[in-house]
Amino acid sequence: MTQHFIVIGNPIAHSKSPEIHTLFAAQTGIEISYQRQYCPDDAASFTAVLEAFFQGGGVGANVTVPFKQIAYDCCAACGGLSEHAKVAGAVNTLLLNKALVKSGVPITEALYGDNTDGQGLVNHILSLGWPLNGARVALIGAGGAARGVILPLIEAGIAHLTIANRTLSKATELVIELSAASTTIHEQQIETCRTTELNGQFDIIINATSIGLSADTLPLSDTLNGDYAYDMMYGRTLPFLQHFSARGAQISDGYGMLIGQAALSFERWTGHTIDVAQATETLHNR
């Protein structure tokens, strides 16, 4: 029996999710249909799309820009959120609590939301052989992308985290908010600073901003160095990675994170574990 999945976004035509999940299905030997779903940018339209999809027998949905916060709100209303989604304040993976549906609860009240982005990042970094346990990590950016990876990084056993952002108050407010939301984060020593003030030696430096997608570059100090540098963006030459490669760091873009978070979504929906390394190699060779 074919299992049906969608990814909801606006815009959505560029999404690589159908290709990735179709490869996962071939790897695990199950039959799926995975489609891109455009949705007008408002909560009512998003809810209508979800109701129609799940009423029609849909199994699971991915959520991308600009709907991750709306998806979070939908799930928060009925308490159906994973710990990672609660801390991230965003949902990228949706499924139904089937027991609630069978008991007659409306679909919009039976949604369960997860956020697999941060664990996808962590899994990719570990697959590269980079050390996270006991590591000194610098995270540049204090927006949604950064917020979603902080808890998984701490769970991976990093020793110290510094969050740098152009506006210092935004980084400081993020730490205060997340410390109140998670005991795990509260117990971690986290420093904040302006991006221009980030300096010294780190094991891993992660760019969680989208600045690499434009012609702009981050205002990095000449005294900032890292053994490893990771940019969560992908698909083009990234100045952040060029900068640290020239300084001798091992580098990686976020393509492996994309596949890693998708693999976790697929596992949540189907129960099948993906060989991410094999899938990444196959997709890179296409």
Q: What does the pLDDT look like over 125-143, one tens digit per residue?
A: 999 999 999 999 999 999 9
C-alpha span between 26 and 116 (Å, rounded): 21
> Is residue 215's pLDDT more than 80?
no
Q: Which among 68, 86, 102, 170 is annotated as catalytic?
A: 68
Q: CB–CB of 226/199 below 8 Å?
A: no
Mean pLDDT of 140-148: 94
Amino acid type, 237: T
Q: Among 6-15, 213-222, 272-281, name the one with the lowest average pLDDT.
A: 213-222
Q: pTM of the entire structure?
A: 0.92
pLDDT per position as a tens digit, 164-187: 999 999 999 999 999 998 999 998
C-alpha span between 230 and 252 (Å, rounded): 5
Q: CB–CB of 150/177 below 8 Å?
A: no
The CA-based dihedral angle spanning residues 186, 230, 204, 154, taken in that order and rounded to the nearest 10 degrees: 20
Tell me if residue 68 is catalytic.
Answer: yes
> Is residue 204's pLDDT more than 80?
yes
Task: For 160, list phi and psi in degrees, rounded to 5.
Answer: -155, 140
> Is residue 32's pLDDT more than 80?
yes
Q: Is 83 exposed, middle or buried (0-12, 13-18, 19+ CB in 10 A)?
A: middle
Structure-model confidence comparison of residues 286 and 44, the more confident one: 44
In 3D space, the residue among 134, 153, 177 whose CA is nearest the CA of residue 232 turns out to be 153
Could you give the angle at which helices 144-155 and 168-181 cross, rounded to 10 degrees? 50
Q: CB–CB of 139/208 below 8 Å?
A: yes
> Is residue 213's pLDDT more than 80?
no
The pLDDT of residue 122: 98
